[in-house]
A = this chain, B = another copy of it.
Amino acid sequence: MPMPQTEAPGRLQAELLARGVRMTRQRRIILGLMETADQHLDAGMILRKARKLDPSINRVTVYRTLRLLKRHGLVDELDLLHLRGDGHYYERHPQREHLHMACLRCGKVMEFESSLFERLKGQVERDCGFHIVVTRVEMGGYCADCRR
Q: Which residues of A contact B (CB under 8 A)?
A: 77, 79, 81-82, 99, 101, 103-104, 110, 112, 114, 116-117, 119-121, 123-124, 127-144, 147
Contacts and interface: CB of A to CB of B under 8 A. Distances in A.
A131 B116 contact: no
A79 B81 contact: no
State how many copies of this chain the complex holds. Answer: 2
A77 B80 CA distance: 12
A128 B116 contact: no
A116 B112 contact: no
A131 B138 CA distance: 13
Contacts of A139: 121, 124, 130, 132, 134-136
A131 B142 contact: yes
A141 B132 contact: yes
Nearest to A146: B131
